Amino acid sequence: NAGVTQTPKFRVLKTGQSMTLLCAQDMNHEYMYWYRQDPGMGLRLIHYSVGEGTTAKGEVPDGYNVSRLKKQNFLLGLESAAPSQTSVYFCASSYLPTTEAFFGQGTRLTVV
């Protein structure tokens, strides 16, 4: 019953540092997504993947990179963190775009 698991849950970075957020799903879903959530702005899509080995840009991709080397994992990387990337990050997965997306519990990232 794990569903979608995100690690870490919290992180504080200094400006310019790099980090990778890990998302793992055990539902054999093809589609995986990374969103960021900022106060009053809902969820905005950063990058997504339609299958192992594929990635695509979403609405706000700048400053982020992703990789989907294994079907169950979707990694989000920040090469040089900026204060504007302070946010809560959510990973999600779905069988198809037109089916329910399951979300992880989120990663709260603060860049100082």
Give me the residues that bind another protein (CB under 8 A), please. Answer: 4, 33, 35, 40-45, 48, 58-59, 90, 92, 97-98, 100-106
Nearest-approach distance from CB 48 to another protein, in angstroms: 6
Nearest-approach distance from CB 17 to another protein, in angstroms: 25
User: Residue 84 class from Cβ within 10 Å (0-12 exposed, 13-18 middle, 19+ buried)?
Assistant: exposed
Nearest to 48 by CA among 81, 5, 91: 91
- Cβ proximity to another protein: between 17 and 43 the closer is 43
Instruction: Please state the φ and ψ torsions of residue 8, each to the nearest 5 degrees.
Output: -80, 180
Nearest-approach distance from CB 42 to another protein, in angstroms: 4
- Cβ proximity to another protein: between 17 and 22 the closer is 22
